Structure 1
Amino acid sequence: MTPSTSASRTAATDLPDADHAHAPRPHLWLREGLTGLELAHTALSRRFLAGLPSGDGHPVLVLPGFLAGASSTNVLRAFLRTKGYRVFDWGQGRNMGVRPGLRGRLAERLDHVTDRTGEPMSIVGWSAGGIYAREIARDNPDRVRSVITMGTPMRGNLRATSAWPAYTLLNRGRNAVDLTPEVLGSRAAPLSMPTTCIYSRYDGIVAWELCTSLPAPTTENVEVRSTHLGFGHHRATLAVVADRLAQPVGAWQPYRG
Structure 2
Amino acid sequence: MTPSVPQPISRPSLALLGTEPWRAAYEFVQHKITRKATMPPGDGHPVIIFPGLGTDGAAVAPLRDYCETLGYSAMDWGRGFNTGPQGDIDTWLAELADHVSGLLNGHSQRATLIGWSLGGIYARELGKLMAPRLRQVITIGTPFNGTPDLTHAGWLFRLLNGAAPVTDPALSQRLRTPPPLPTTSIYSRSDGVVAWQSCRHDKTGAQVRDVEVKGSHIGMGWNPAVLQVVAERLARPRSAAR
Contact preservation (8 Å) 1:158, 1:210: no
In the TM superposition, residue 115 of structure 1 has moved relative to its aligned partner by: 2.4
- In structure 2, the CA distance between the partners of 1:221 and 1:43, relative to structure 1 (3 Å rule), is same
Q: 2:60 matched to 1:73?
A: yes
In the TM superposition, residue 161 of structure 1 has moved relative to its aligned partner by: 0.6
Q: Normalising to structure 1: TM-score of the pair?
A: 0.85
CA distance in 1, matches of 2:232, 2:241: 11
Question: What residue is the counterpart of 1:42 in the other structure?
Answer: 31
Question: What residue is the counterpart of 2:11 in the other structure?
Answer: 23
CA distance in 2, matches of 1:191, 1:98: 19
SS in 2 for 1:192: coil
Contact preservation (8 Å) 2:37, 2:228: no
Runs of 4+ that moved beyond 6 A: none
**CA shift digits 1:162-212 (9 cap, x unpaired):** 111222343345843xx1111111110122111110000110000101111
Question: What residue is the counterpart of 1:125 in the other structure?
Answer: 115
- In structure 2, the CA distance between the partners of 1:240 and 1:224, relative to structure 1 (3 Å rule), is same
In the TM superposition, residue 121 of structure 1 has moved relative to its aligned partner by: 0.4
In the TM superposition, residue 99 of structure 1 has moved relative to its aligned partner by: 1.7
Matched AA of 2:48: L
Structure 1: give runs of 5+ residues left out of the alignment: 1-16
CA distance in 2, matches of 1:140, 1:27: 40
In the TM superposition, residue 50 of structure 1 has moved relative to its aligned partner by: 5.1
Give the counterpart of 1:226 among 193, 212, 215.
215
Q: Aligned Cα RMSD in Å?
A: 2.1
Residues 150-169 of structure 1 mapped to structure 2, 5 A cutoff? 150-169=140-159
Matched AA of 1:232: G
Q: Normalising to structure 2: TM-score of the pair?
A: 0.90
- In structure 2, the CA distance between the partners of 1:54 and 1:31, relative to structure 1 (3 Å rule), is farther
CA distance in 2, matches of 1:133, 1:99: 16
State the percentage of identical aligned residues: 35
* Higher RCO, 1 vs 2 (CA within 8 Å, ≥6 residues apart): 1
Question: What residue is the counterpart of 1:210 in the other structure?
Answer: 198
CA distance in 2, matches of 1:236, 1:191: 24
- In structure 2, the CA distance between the partners of 1:53 and 1:212, relative to structure 1 (3 Å rule), is farther
**CA shift digits 1:29-49 (9 cap, x unpaired):** 12212111110111012xx32
CA distance in 2, matches of 1:102, 1:18: 36
- In structure 2, the CA distance between the partners of 1:108 and 1:36, relative to structure 1 (3 Å rule), is same
Residues matched between the structures, number: 233
